[in-house]
Amino acid sequence: MGKNIVEKIIDSHIVEGTPGAGNEIGIRIDQTLTQDATGTMAYLEFEALGYDRVQTELSVSYVDHNTIQEGFENADDHAYLESVARRYGIRFSRPGNGICHQVHLERFGLPGKTLLGSDSHTPTGGGVGMAAIGAGGLDVAVAMGGGPFYLTYPRVIKVELTGHLRNWVSAKDVILRVLDILSTRGNVGCAIEYGGSGVATLDVPERATITNMGAELGVTMSVFPSDDVTREWLKAQGREKGWIPLAADPDAAYDRTIEINLSELVPMAACPHSPGNVAPLKELDGMKVDQVLIGSCTNASFRDLMLVAQILKDRKVCPHVTLGVSAGSRQVLEMIAHNGALADIVGAGARVLESVCGFCIGNSLAPGSDAVSVRTNNRNFFGRSGTPSAQVYLVSPEAAAAIALAGVMVDPMKYLATTHFHEIVQPARFHIDDSMVAGTGAPDRGAAIVRGPNIGEPPSNESCPDTLAGVAAIKVGDKVTTDDIMPAGNRLKYRSNVPRYAEFVFERTDPEFSARALANKNEGRHNVIIAGDSYGQGSSREHAAICPMFLGVKMVVAKSIERIHRANLINFGIIPALFVDGADYEKIERGDEVHVSGVRDALAGEGRLELRNPKNSISVAVRVDLSEREKGHLLAGGLINAMRKSI
């Protein structure tokens, strides 16, 4: 039997394990990326593991998150990142060069390669036929040092695309339709592969929009074929030599096939407070809108902003609407500045924003109280915008521009029916200037590493105890995101200072959690987190494991745990346990005593444990499903402890 694209890339990179859905495998990583909010800790971990240089074909450190620089902390991190990059042979993309996923797609991504990034939207690279995977920073640090990345060999879902998109219908509407079908949970251990005749009608930026939001599905990766469209894109970026053809064999097998006719799609919106809460825009018609923000790693390509400029040209934004526009990279910004599109955007009344993550991560442009904010980014979790009472909707750039003009929710197919649609033609040559990417990839072992007062060290953990004697420090519900566990926004600047950042664990859900958990730890009591379904959705931020570990959390017991967060918990010595019977979730409340004995033997064996509450004699059965490698890491107290022993 032939192979699909996912199998072709993964199988060619396996260094440990056997191909087969559900098997744990280790793969060789060709490229890595980090961004400053996750990268500082990733490089501190790289140093802690004792590596002397990067062993990948390419590793790039981007600065695109913490650029507001309120206080000294962000500047300290940037200086550390630049000096570490010089020392160890990492390329360094300076602040202002653009968002990591957009820049990596433009300047470094190649079909058939593996890419591991300390950001959950790393799967954007699947738009050029990469096996691009998001992970915690510690996993990226190990990969940079030449170690394998371990994952479960995925089940592959094929999305068969036919037809072509109509005017004012977008690639964003394609992925919103996929989210409508598959939802944001239940897809752990899967990969998505796009195929069918409709693929050839989508250019690389459109494909990248679709693979970018595969992160919201919870899948390991999303990938498109590498075809003539891919080759022309790479040629226009001056990188045609890196192109290879990549397609599924005619007799390739899939675990499931979904068919989507592009010609039948309509403009869609993800409604509050989940990317999976999808509705046709026409059903929201007439709703007043206060803010429109266009940008992010999802929708800030040259194509996207040229369409926005086309819609806004010679028009004015509705007076009660604030419109902000951010290019995804300096390349895009310079090109629309030179060709006049930026003037059309500014002339309509838009605010021009820096080419960074910005509003998407909630560190700027928070909407007003009870405001309706329409955005082109990928997440609209509760409170992520910086304003808990705001209602955030996710749409395409075309829809966002039309809504900014109308001042209310509109269907762009109807609102722009009399507007002439100009197909955006890819330039024969993009503007290429890599002067803001420092370094050649060769290490400078004499380079001094800059460590300001905000630069700490990865916190240490003890080996796994044989008996847990503690308390259910918090109980949370379903779909708890890593934003809920560790807030972003203006808290991001503390990521290289774990004791300070740990003060904000579960800040929005339970402001007293951090102090309570730390008090338990100081009294010698272990902390346990009780959670519902799909715990740890969203960002790859490993601090959602590091900071709870620092506060003495030893176990998370949930109905289900998302892939990246589960890996991060294991990496930092927190046991990721699942209820054997989901109904037992109701038997444990915050403050209940939780005792577990025989932990080490159970983890080394079949992973069956019993949680007991000695006060009311209630017992709850849980399971911990682990590979042999994961057992060793948990028993050692985390990956750093285990790696130090082996190194």
What does the pLDDT read at residue 458?
81
Per-residue tokens: 83: 């000096």
Q: pLDDT tier at 646 (50, 70, 90 boundaries)? A: low
What does the pLDDT read at residue 56?
97
Three-class SS state of 530 = strand
d(CA 305, CA 523): 56
pLDDT value at 192 more than 80: yes
> Exposed/middle/buried for 24, CB within 10 Å: 0-12, 13-18, 19+?
middle
Q: Tell me the pLDDT tens digit for each residue of 383-426.
A: 889 899 999 999 999 999 999 999 999 999 999 999 999 989 89
HSE, CB side, 13 Å, CA atoms: give it for residue 80.
25
Mean pLDDT score across all residues of the chain: 94
Mean pLDDT confidence for 550-565:
95
Q: C-alpha angle with apex 354: 69 to 352, nearest 5 degrees?
A: 130
What does the pLDDT read at residue 647?
57
Q: Tell me the pLDDT tens digit for each residue of 68-91.
A: 877 888 889 999 999 999 999 999
Per-residue tokens: 626: 């682990």
- pLDDT over 90, % of the chain: 86
Instruction: Give which of 347, 338, 281 is closest to 309, Cα–Cα.
Output: 347
pLDDT value at 349 more than 70: yes
Mean pLDDT confidence for 13-32:
96
Range in 156-160, 383-387, 593-597, 626-630 the model is least confident about: 383-387
Q: How many residues does the chain have?
A: 647
C-alpha torsion angle, residues 347, 348, 353, 358 (rounded to 10): 180
pLDDT value at 290 more than 80: yes
pLDDT value at 1 more than 90: no
Per-residue tokens: 367: 């909407």
CB 637 within 8 A of CB 573: yes
Mean pLDDT confidence for 25-41:
95
d(CA 61, CA 91): 6
Q: Compute φ and ψ for 61, nearest 5 degrees.
A: -105, 120
HSE, CB side, 13 Å, CA atoms: give it for residue 501.
34
pLDDT value at 556 more than 90: yes
d(CA 593, CA 574): 18
Look at the alpha carbons of 474, 480, 482, 483 in this order and tell me if their dihedral is positive or negative: negative
- pLDDT over 70, % of the chain: 100
CB 188 within 8 A of CB 157: no
Strands 221-223 and 256-261: unpaired
Q: Which residues does 644 contact at the CB level (< 8 Å), separation at least 6?
A: 48, 49, 50
β-strand partners of 623: 578, 608
d(CA 91, CA 85): 6
Q: pLDDT tier at 610 (50, 70, 90 boundaries)? A: very high
CB 180 within 8 A of CB 150: no
d(CA 556, CA 571): 13
What is the DSSP code (8-state) at residue 424? P
Edge-first strand order for the sheet with 58-62 is: 131-134, 114-117, 31-35, 58-62, 91-93, 437-438
Q: What is the pTM of this model?
A: 0.93
pLDDT value at 492 more than 80: no
Top mean-pLDDT range of 250-254, 416-420, 536-540? 250-254
CB 401 within 8 A of CB 341: no
DSSP, residue by residue, 620-644: EEEE----HHHHHHHHHTSHHHHHH
Domains annotated on the chain, with CATH = 5-264 (3.30.499.10), 268-412 (3.30.499.10), 468-641 (3.20.19.10)
pLDDT value at 493 more than 80: no
d(CA 338, CA 395): 27
Mean pLDDT confidence for 556-563:
95
Burial code (b: 16+ CB inside 10 Å, e: under 16) for 402-426 equals bbbbbbbbbbbbebbeeeeeeebeb
β-strand partners of 579: 622
Q: pLDDT tier at 184 (50, 70, 90 boundaries)? A: confident
Mean pLDDT confidence for 332-337:
98
What does the pLDDT read at residue 254?
97
Range in 158-167, 452-461, 503-512, 590-599 the model is least confident about: 452-461
What does the pLDDT read at residue 503?
95
